[in-house]
Amino acid sequence: MQAASREALAVAEDKFRELTLGMDAATVSETADQLASVARLLDREIVLRKHLSDATAEPSAKVAVAERLFADKVGGPVLEVLKSAVSQRWSRSRDLVTAVDGFARLAVLIRAERDGQIETVEDELFRFSRTLDANPRLSTLLGDASAPVDGRLQLLSQVLGGRVSAPAQTLLEQVVRWPQTTNVAAVVELLADLAAARRGESVAHVVSATPLTEQQNARLTEVLSRIYGRRISVQLELDPEVLGGLRITVGDEVIDGTIASRLSAAANQLPR
């Protein structure tokens, strides 16, 4: 996002957080569903989207349009978030839609957090992102916006088989429904990171040839948290090709201590 949209997002997000602060669980869920529906509507209705995000239009006029269109269709909290969002200046109309869709996903995570499920949701999302990485065809089918959404949701349901929590299921369905999703695996992984952030943690993506024991996982978490000066959540991915050792990614930083990488480095040192 460009500067104007970043500033607009910050203002709208402050309003969203203010409204959800004392909200009961049922209202949070309803808010999530309504925001997701509004986002899809704005994605379809290009003229409306452009009008509500028009940086040259009077904020009061855009708020009036939002009130006229949505007042009897959404709850008070959703309407207030929309009014806050459309009264801002957005660099692109698409950024407004992305913001509303993002609030819908955040609302689901807030509900999971209040229900004590946020850690479970984080783990389920991460594991599903790894499943998609290992099955690119599945990721492509779930993200194919040219295919009927009902069919893609049915495929998602078959793959999940009822083995994930309700918040994780809702988030994955939101991703599949969203027309602008081009890389389902990447979006799901970002959602897992967002869930970790809700717990006040950063994510370390760890690749190992074999599973870690509970003691090894606890020790690795402790060491990484000490190194980075904040709580670290370890997400483990198994890959026999690394042979041994660990490859650790935290943000943009990669620590590659795998045997495969050392063998590659050694091979590069051999005379040719």
**For position 41, what pLDDT does the model report?**
93
Q: Would you place residue 156 in the very low, low, confident or very high pLDDT band (cuts 50, 70, 90)?
A: very high
**For position 200, what pLDDT does the model report?**
66
- Of 30-34, 102-106, 125-129, 258-262, the one with minimum mean pLDDT is 258-262
- Cβ atoms of 258 and 207 within 8 Å: the answer is yes
* pLDDT one-digit tens code per residue, 39-59: 999 998 999 999 999 888 899
**Which residues, 6+ apart, have CB-to-CB distance to 111 below 8 Å?**
25, 28, 29, 32, 167
**For position 61, what pLDDT does the model report?**
93
